[in-house]
Amino acid sequence: ARFSNHHHVRDVLVFDPYGDKGIYTGQAHNDKPHKRGTMRYADGRVYVGEWYKGRWHGYGRGTFPNGDSYAGQYVYDQRHGKGTYRWHDGRVYNGRFENDKRHGFGSYSWPDGARYDGEFDDGLYQGKGTFRFADRSFYTGEWQDGMQHGQGTCSWRNGRVYTGEWYEGKAHGQ
């Protein structure tokens, strides 16, 4: 064995592969976490799930020192595929990720009742989607770079409705 700080227990490797950065318990291959295991990092992060050659890969659950958590698919240490991210302040995103960012269809909700259901690209609202504000007003339509942009309808709580063109987050052509 190359590491003097590890040992095998019934085909499970327990060692500190990253110096003082954490403790790994689980399956390993070539002295790297591989298949299933748990890593408890010194900074408070915990990852429980599937590994590939020392990297988070497959289904896993990560919890972070600030109280955030993620459960879902990982590809080479990045959120990629379907998953749920929960922020410590009560926000929740459930949907697709690509390269560690919200991407594809998803739902993003806030503790005050606001919610966005629709498409994301590179972490931003992009394409078609509906945003329901906490006061029950809503916008449904096209988004670009996180803003209402293109054709859409906004219905405010006071009964006012605008349907038409939006430009960089503002009604255009009223």
Structure confidence by residue, pLDDT tens digits, 69-108: 999 999 999 999 999 999 999 999 999 999 999 999 999 9
Q: What is the 3-state secondary structure (H, E, C) of 30-87?
A: CCEEEEEEEEEECCCCEEEEEEECCEEEEEEEEECCCCCEEEEEEECCEEEEEEEEEC
Are 1 and 73 within one domain?
Answer: yes
Q: Which domain holds residue 161?
A: 108-174
Domain count, the chain: 2
Whether 31 maps to a domain, the answer reads yes
Check which CATH number belongs to the domain holding 159 and give it.
2.20.110
Domain termination residue (choose one: 88, 123, 142): 88
**Residue 37: inside a domain:** yes
Q: Which residue has the tokens 């670009």?
A: 144
- pTM metric for this prediction: 0.87
CB atoms within 10 A of CB 41: 16
Answer yes or no: is 99 within a domain: no
Note whether 1 and 47 are same-domain residues. Answer: yes
C-alpha 7/C-alpha 156 separation (Å) is 63
Average model confidence (pLDDT) across the chain: 91
